[in-house]
């Protein structure tokens, strides 16, 4: 039941961002809003999420995971009710802010429930299972959202999120145990994060996670404009193009979870880096010669997504256990750093977007190349990273 509860948290997180996107046209008509105003509903949600994740990460290391997750879910439920009950678009935006702020806690702390209860070896297997559930939800959200909007209008999407939020709240309340953490002195937020930045190993892993996250979200952020406006892909088929990336990651994570401990992790990371190199070459090829072919672009990015599966499931549990008393802060830093740099990347991509994949491909390729070099360094420092892990466990 604990694992099922955590999976439902990840499903809620995966759907919160994408489920209501197909309802944008209806929202525009209902609130008499401009396209810019409707896009603002995503921005305020993102701002709330960024603020919430750093607060949740800090408080969870001092007061435990369960209480902070329940508090976040209560705020998310309140935000969902506000979105449903109002006729004012400004109040609707406030609801979206509350949704983003509240969902931050279960989003970044769900895996910490697993990390507190199981060994690193078990965590790596469960991480693969959770990645599978999260990305399956992300893959299906646009498709499900389209049908909910078709039959139940835009309110149906928020009723779905509200219902799932209530279910997750009740399951967390009854099935997730309160894990007593080691006694921690309540520090200022700045002090808590400064300690993390003193670790070169943690910084190295944070840089890697960010570099392999940014290309995907640059592509996802620009793909609606690229595919539907400039490449002629219909709304009906666009969901399948975008959803295929998350679905491949979900299926790959599920399979990898069953073989992760049958092979040497250092060799697996080398294989992942080789896949990244292939994806880099494929994306460059498409950028130069097939920048107007939606199918080829998607296939090139699927290679990149496959490359993410191995290092994500191996390195993330290891990263969290390098400083066991700061897991909440570590998770917040990863999520916050990813979102901040993904936003910057999206702005850069939008600035150079010319109606084809060419410039976007070059921008994405440069980030992937940096990630490849960082992975080479991680592989070379693998023994030192394992030594740091052993030292933290002994402490």
- Report the distance separating Cα 270 and Cα 160, nearest Å: 42
- Report the distance separating Cα 42 and Cα 395, nearest Å: 42
The answer on 199 and 121 residing in a single domain is no
Tokens of 314: 């191996």
Residue 381 falls inside a structural domain: yes
- Report the distance separating Cα 375 and Cα 93, nearest Å: 40
- Report the distance separating Cα 87 and Cα 69, nearest Å: 29
Q: Is the dihedral angle over the CA atoms 29, 32, 34, 37 positive or is it negative?
A: negative
| Phi, psi of 198, rounded to the nearest 5 degrees | -80, -15
Please, is 78 exposed, middle or buried when counting C-beta atoms within 10 Å of its C-beta (0-12, 13-18, 19+)? middle
Show which of 176, 204, 237 is a domain's final residue: 176
The answer on 56 and 158 residing in a single domain is yes
The answer on 235 and 118 residing in a single domain is no
The answer on 353 and 224 residing in a single domain is yes
Residue 183 falls inside a structural domain: no
pLDDT value at residue 128: 77
The answer on 195 and 127 residing in a single domain is no
Host H or E run for residue 137: helix 120-175
Q: Mind listing the pLDDT tens digit of every residue in the chain (395 residues)?
A: 888 888 888 888 878 877 776 676 778 788 887 766 766 777 788 888 888 988 888 788 777 788 999 999 999 999 999 999 988 989 999 999 999 999 999 988 887 888 777 777 788 788 777 777 777 776 677 677 777 877 888 888 889 999 999 999 999 999 888 766 554 444 555 566 677 888 888 899 999 999 988 898 788 777 777 887 788 887 667 767 877 887 888 888 888 888 887 888 899 999 999 999 999 999 999 999 887 888 999 999 999 999 998 898 888 888 888 887 777 788 888 888 887 787 788 778 877 888 888 998 999 999 999 999 999 999 988 877 776 665 555 54
| Phi, psi of 13, rounded to the nearest 5 degrees | -60, -45
pLDDT value at residue 184: 47
Residue 284 falls inside a structural domain: yes
The answer on 227 and 152 residing in a single domain is no
Angle (CA) 84-87-88 rounded to 5° is: 110
Residue 181 falls inside a structural domain: no
Show which of 176, 203, 224 is a domain's final residue: 176
The answer on 155 and 204 residing in a single domain is no
Residue 331 falls inside a structural domain: yes
Domain CATH for 100: 1.20.1250.20
The answer on 210 and 163 residing in a single domain is no
Q: What range does the domain containing 220 cover?
A: 188-395
Q: How many domains is the chain built from?
A: 2
Residue 182 falls inside a structural domain: no
Residue 375 falls inside a structural domain: yes
The answer on 166 and 261 residing in a single domain is no
The answer on 262 and 166 residing in a single domain is no
Show which of 115, 146, 176 is a domain's final residue: 176
Residue 1 falls inside a structural domain: yes
- Report the distance separating Cα 273 and Cα 279, nearest Å: 10
Give one DSSP letter per residue of 281-316, joined into a string.
Answer: HHHHHHHHH-TT-HHHHHHHHHHHHHHHHHHHHHHH
Angle (CA) 136-4-109 rounded to 5° is: 80
The answer on 216 and 157 residing in a single domain is no
The answer on 277 and 350 residing in a single domain is yes
Q: Which residues contact 20 (CB under 8 A, 6 or more apart)?
A: 27, 145, 149, 154, 157, 158, 161
């Amino acid at each position: 039941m604990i694992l099922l509860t955590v999976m439902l948290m990840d499903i809620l997180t995966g759907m919160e961002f994408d489920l209501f996107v197909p309802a944008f046209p209806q929202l525009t008509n209902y609130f008499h809003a401009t396209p810019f105003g409707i896009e603002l509903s995503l921005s305020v949600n993102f701002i709330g999420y960024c603020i919430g994740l750093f607060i949740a990460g800090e408080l969870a290391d001092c007061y435990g995971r369960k209480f902070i997750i329940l508090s976040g879910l209560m705020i998310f439920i309140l935000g969902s009710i506000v979105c449903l009950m109002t006729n004012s678009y400004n109040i609707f935006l406030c609801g979206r802010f509350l949704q983003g702020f509240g969902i931050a806690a279960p989003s970044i702390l769900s895996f910490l429930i697993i990390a507190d209860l199981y060994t690193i070896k078990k965590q790596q297997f469960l991480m693969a299972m959770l990645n599978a559930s999260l990305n399956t939800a992300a893959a299906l959200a646009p498709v499900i959202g389209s049908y909910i909007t078709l039959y139940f209008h835009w309110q149906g999407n928020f009723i779905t999120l509200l219902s799932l939020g209530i279910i997750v709240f009740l399951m967390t309340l009854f099935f997730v145990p309160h894990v007593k953490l080691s006694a921690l002195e309540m520090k200022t937020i700045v002090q808590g994060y400064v300690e993390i930045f003193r670790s070169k190993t943690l910084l190295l892993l944070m840089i890697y996670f960010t570099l392999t996250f940014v290309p995907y979200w640059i592509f996802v952020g620009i793909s609606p404009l690229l595919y539907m406006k400039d490449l002629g892909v219909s709304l009906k088929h666009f969901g399948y193009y975008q959803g295929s990336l998350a679905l491949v990651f979900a299926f790959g994570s599920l399979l990898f979870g069953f073989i992760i401990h049958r092979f040497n992790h250092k060799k697996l990371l080398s294989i992942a880096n080789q896949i990244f190199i292939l994806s880099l070459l494929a994306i460059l090829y498409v950028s130069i010669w097939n920048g107007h072919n939606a199918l080829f672009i998607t296939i090139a990015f699927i290679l990149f997504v496959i490359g993410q599966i191995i290092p994500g499931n191996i390195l993330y549990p290891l990263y969290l256990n390098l400083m066991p008393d700061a897991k909440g802060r570590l998770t917040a830093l990863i999520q916050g750093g990813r979102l901040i740099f993904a936003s910057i990347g999206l702005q850069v991509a939008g600035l150079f977007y010319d109606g084809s994949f060419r410039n976007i491909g070059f921008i994405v390729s440069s980030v992937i190349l940096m990630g490849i070099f960082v992975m080479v360094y991680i592989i070379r420092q693998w023994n030192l990273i394992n030594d740091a892990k052993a030292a933290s466990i002994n402490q």
